[in-house]
């Protein structure tokens, strides 16, 4: 809280200084430029057997304190073998008086005995470049990850372009970002296309971007490989949370950069809620009052106020299954908790949650014709007060980026009897996978290249970056504060990962939506539980 208040206070002061200039010189606005800088780290080319001092000619200067060369640290020296031809990278780091760390990479090229680079061969007395190894990274939206895409929507574009070029030169690779073909837009179609390309021996790519729920199918289809052997060396930067979500039968198949965070929550039409004169949900949460009974009282008050405005207006929107999935853990239960290895969606904590949601439905608090994801036209038109969603929905053009009202955020409510910490289930997390069918040497190269392309950061840097992301998505400080109270409270739920279609006849999501509306949750959960028990046993390999 103090950190957020400090940020907004600083921003307010800075804006005030700019606006209240005395009419003379413009008041300079502070920048984020680090005070420290490193120079003298240009590429070096050596012959095998040469000597080399990594710090010779390298200096560091701080704009406040002056020469700080003695504070430079160099990483990668242990891997630099001057007797063996190859391309090596050194990383130089120094911390300035402002506390910011400056990092610069340097390429060291050790030539072969013939005087050629490691990625060259001598032909008729001339060093000729060897053909680059093509590494294709297939993604659902390449513009999000390809820093050279004209429509790149990611961050740190220049740094990622520089890293891309460095890695291509270092490993003699040609990195290509490709979209999935038209016959593999998403879900089963994408999984099938990946598996079929593996069967035919003509993989669509060397690296696939997909989601954790599909790992089982891709592994059983022999389309992707385990990366266990790299986790303690090349992949040691990968956070344990991603190793867990990317695992299947105790082997890691999926990986990603960063740290996993809570993605699900309740979003509300802040303009509408304010106009109704009811309590603000976010403030209720921050005051420690956001329990099921408070939630019911709030939703009832909202519905009463909406009824006075006209028909087809509702307190709660979206599918009941989303509420159930995220509220069962806040009643001490789970659906299929990987840690316990049990199907728990028919146990008492879950059943009590369904009954509570049914009581809200019977009271007419839910819209009668909800839709998934972006929501119904009624929600989009501003006639529904609250809707479940994910953080990325807030600014996405195909979700809520164009909504004509302010979106407020509040976590899901806890049951009145639950005394544990807030916890949120995660599933369907976007991950990368290594395609099968490559030689061990190429497979290691492909994983190494992916790993080296990433701009790895410390846990604190990831946390700070996430906080800044929240500030770009929400209009009010209180929404950011509420999100930060729960953002890392996650656990892995396998409800969508065991191979049963969520919306099929026996799918939990389809059946619980029906059960909550009709009050038949207990019967329906008992009917499908044996099917999930068998699927879980198979998934776990028991």
User: What pLDDT does 31 receive?
Assistant: 52
pLDDT computed for residue 86 by the predictor: 84
CA distance 233 to 434: 16
Domain extents in the chain: 34-120, 126-261+429-467, 264-425+493-540
Percentage of residues in the chain having pLDDT higher than 90? 79
What is the percentage of the chain residues whose pLDDT exceeds 70?
94
Burial 75-104 (b: 16+ CB within 10 A, else e): eeeeebebeebbbbbbebbbbbeeeeebeb
CATH topology match: 34-120 vs 264-425+493-540: no
**Model confidence at 13: pLDDT above 90:** no
Superfamily the domain 126-261+429-467 falls into: Periplasmic binding protein-like II (3.40.190.10)
Does the pTM surpass 0.85? The reply is no
Angle CA 73–75–80, to nearest 5: 130
Q: For 414-444, how does the pLDDT look when each residue is reduced to its tens digit (9 = 90+)?
A: 999 999 999 999 988 999 999 999 999 999 9
Other CB atoms closer than 10 Å to residue 286's CB: what's the count?
16
Does domain 34-120 bear CATH number 3.40.190.10?
Answer: no
d(CA 298, CA 295): 5
Decide if pLDDT at 17 tops 80.
no
**Torsion angle in degrees (nearest 10) through CA of 370, 376, 378, 379:** 100
**Structure confidence by residue, pLDDT tens digits, 261-297:** 999 999 999 999 999 999 999 999 999 999 999 999 9
- Report, as an integer, the average pLDDT of 311-337: 97
Q: 264-425+493-540 architecture in CATH?
A: 3-Layer(aba) Sandwich (3.40)
Q: Are strands 490-492 and 424-426 parallel, antiparallel or unpaired?
A: parallel
Mean residue pLDDT of the chain comes to 91
Q: What's the rounded mean pLDDT across residues 508-530?
A: 98
Q: How many CB atoms lie within 10 A of CB 425?
A: 22
For the stretch 457-503, pLDDT in tens is 888 889 999 999 999 999 999 999 999 999 999 999 999 999 998 88
């Amino acid at each position: 809280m103090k950190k957020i208040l400090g940020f907004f206070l600083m921003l307010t002061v800075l804006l005030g200084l700019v606006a209240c200039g005395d009419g003379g010189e413009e008041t300079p606005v502070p920048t984020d430029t680090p005070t420290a800088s490193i120079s003298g780290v240009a590429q070096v080319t050596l012959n095998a057997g040469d000597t080399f001092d990594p710090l010779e000619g390298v200096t560091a200067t701080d704009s406040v304190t002056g020469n700080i060369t003695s504070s430079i640290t160099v990483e990668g020296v242990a891997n630099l073998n001057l007797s063996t031809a190859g391309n090596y990278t050194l990383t130089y780091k120094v911390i300035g008086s402002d506390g910011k760390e400056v990092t610069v990479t340097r390429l060291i090229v050790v030539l072969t005995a013939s005087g050629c680079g490691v990625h060259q061969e001598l032909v008729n007395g001339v060093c000729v470049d060897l053909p680059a190894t093509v590494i294709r990274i297939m993604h659902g939206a390449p513009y999000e990850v390809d820093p050279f895409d004209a429509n790149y929507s990611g961050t740190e574009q220049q740094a990622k372009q520089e890293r891309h070029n460095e890695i291509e030169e270092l490993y003699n690779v040609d990195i290509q970002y490709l979209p999935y073909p038209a016959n593999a837009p998403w879900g089963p179609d994408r999984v099938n296309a990946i598996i079929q390309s593996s069967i035919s021996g003509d993989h669509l790519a060397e690296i696939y971007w997909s989601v954790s729920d599909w790992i089982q199918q891709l592994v059983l289809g022999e389309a992707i490989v385990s990366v266990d052997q790299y986790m303690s060396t090349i992949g040691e930067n990968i956070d344990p949370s991603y190793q867990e979500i990317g695992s299947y039968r105790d082997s890691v198949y999926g990986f990603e950069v960063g740290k996993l965070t809570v993605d699900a929550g309740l979003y509300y039409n802040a303009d509408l809620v304010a106009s109704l004169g009811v309590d603000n949900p976010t403030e209720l949460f921050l005051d420690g009052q956001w329990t099921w009974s408070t939630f019911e009282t709030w939703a009832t008050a909202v519905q009463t106020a909406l009824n006075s405005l006209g028909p087809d207006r509702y307190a709660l929107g979206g599918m009941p299954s989303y509420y159930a999935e995220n509220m069962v853990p806040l009643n001490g239960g789970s659906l299929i908790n990987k840690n316990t290895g049990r199907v728990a969606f028919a146990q008492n904590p879950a059943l009590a949650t369904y009954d509570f949601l049914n009581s809200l439905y019977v009271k007419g608090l839910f819209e009668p014709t909800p839709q998934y994801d972006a929501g119904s036209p009624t929600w989009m038109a501003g006639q529904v007060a609250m809707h479940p969603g994910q953080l990325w929905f807030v600014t996405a053009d195909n979700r809520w980026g164009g909504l004509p009202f302010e979106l407020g955020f509040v976590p899901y409510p806890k049951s009145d009897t639950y005394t544990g910490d807030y916890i949120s289930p995660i599933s369907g997390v976007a991950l990368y996978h290594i395609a099968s069918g490559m030689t061990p040497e190429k497979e290691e190269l492909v994983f190494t290249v992916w790993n080296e392309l990433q701009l790895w950061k410390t846990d604190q840097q990831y946390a700070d970056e996430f906080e800044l992301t929240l500030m770009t998505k929400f209009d009010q400080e209180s929404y950011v504060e509420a999100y930060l109270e729960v953002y890392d409270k996650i656990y892995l739920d396998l409800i969508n990962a065991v191979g049963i279609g969520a919306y099929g006849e026996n799918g939990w999501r389809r059946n619980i939506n029906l059960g909550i509306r009709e009050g038949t949750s207990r019967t329906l959960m008992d009917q499908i539980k044996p099917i999930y028990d068998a699927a879980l046993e198979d998934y776990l390999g028991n």
